[in-house]
Amino acid sequence: MQRSATTRYPILLVHGLFGFERIGHFELFHDVKDALKTADCRVFVPHLSATHDNEVRGKQLLTQIDSVLRGTGARKVNLIGHSQGALAARYAAALAPHAVASVTSVSGPNHGSELADFLRKALVPGRLPEVVAQNVATVFADFLSLLSGSTTLPQNALAALNALTTEGVGDFNDRFPQGLPGTWGGHGPEQVNGVRYYSWSGVLPAIGLATLDPMQGACRALSQYFMTEGEQNDGFVGRFSSHLGQVIRSDYPLDHLSSLRRSAGKVTGQFDPIDLYVEHAARLRAVNL
């Protein structure tokens, strides 16, 4: 693995739905951040609403990009967004391309999530199930915010769900198409308005020792709700739905959560997803980003 991958611009790791920077001693991006720092990268994790739509979270990200630029003296930042974090990163880059050197989508639902479609249909608008689901999810998000110290950020679970459906992301893409492929399953433009776009993602690995990880078991259970990409998804996002810009690879043996952490059941010689982030930092460095 590359030992020194110092990028020209700082890296911001942008979390997705129900994400956070730190709760107590637990950091969501702990493995990724440590690996990047070991490779001599400057790394920051912005505070965004755990549940809200892409534009609200994107505006929050823009504010924190400004803070990083002021604090470091850098002219731009590299954004690496996991899951819904990719959409917030895309929004920020579309509105402030002068401040963003690159956007990298990791397991991002860039064309929507079939799981979100299923959940949206399961909730009857305006009736008890929708109200109960929104209240439970918002209370959970508020609890995460309280634990992480980000109590001032707004939460809206229903807005988040609507923003992740195929229809919701389709509307978002109409307004912010930068980096999107012109054909389903293809690559998108690698550079738009001076911003480079990249993506990588995975599909559920074959059943084996890796299934010792309970999170992978949950992703495997959720994958049954995919129709279009029934055999090609990570439990939350379909393989081709994740494509953006230069597609590094979209079939790594990774479930949705394993793309930002090492699996609990990891065995010697098993694929390590954290290496991908350091390799990508070296890739950014190679193009002077």
> Could you read off the pLDDT of 198-244 as tens digits, one per residue?
999 999 987 764 455 677 777 888 888 888 988 899 988 999 999 99
End-to-end Cα, the chain, rounded Å: 19
Active site residues: 83, 234, 256
- Give the tokens for residue 42: 């400057």
Highest mean pLDDT among 32-36, 132-136, 223-227, 266-270: 32-36
pLDDT at 13 over 80: yes
The per-residue pLDDT for range 140-186, each reduced to its tens digit, is 344 334 444 555 778 888 888 889 999 999 999 999 999 999 999 99
Please state, in angstroms and rounded to a whole number, the distance separating the CA atoms of residues 54 and 86.
Answer: 9
40: left (phi over 0), alpha (psi -120 to 50) or beta: left
Please state, in angstroms and rounded to a whole number, the distance separating the CA atoms of residues 71 and 92.
Answer: 18
The per-residue pLDDT for range 94-143, each reduced to its tens digit, is 999 999 999 999 999 999 999 888 877 777 666 556 555 555 445 434 43
Domains of the chain: 11-286 (3.40.50.1820)
User: Binning pLDDT at 50, 70 and 90, where does residue 4 land?
Assistant: low
Alpha-helical regions (H) of the chain: 30-38, 54-72, 85-95, 114-122, 128-148, 157-164, 166-175, 214-222, 274-286
Which pTM does this prediction carry? 0.87
What are the residues facing 204 on neighbouring strands? none
Residue pair 256/216 in contact by the 8 Å Cβ criterion: no
Q: β-pairing, 43-44 with 77-82?
A: unpaired
Please state, in angstroms and rounded to a whole number, the distance separating the CA atoms of residues 150 and 78.
Answer: 23
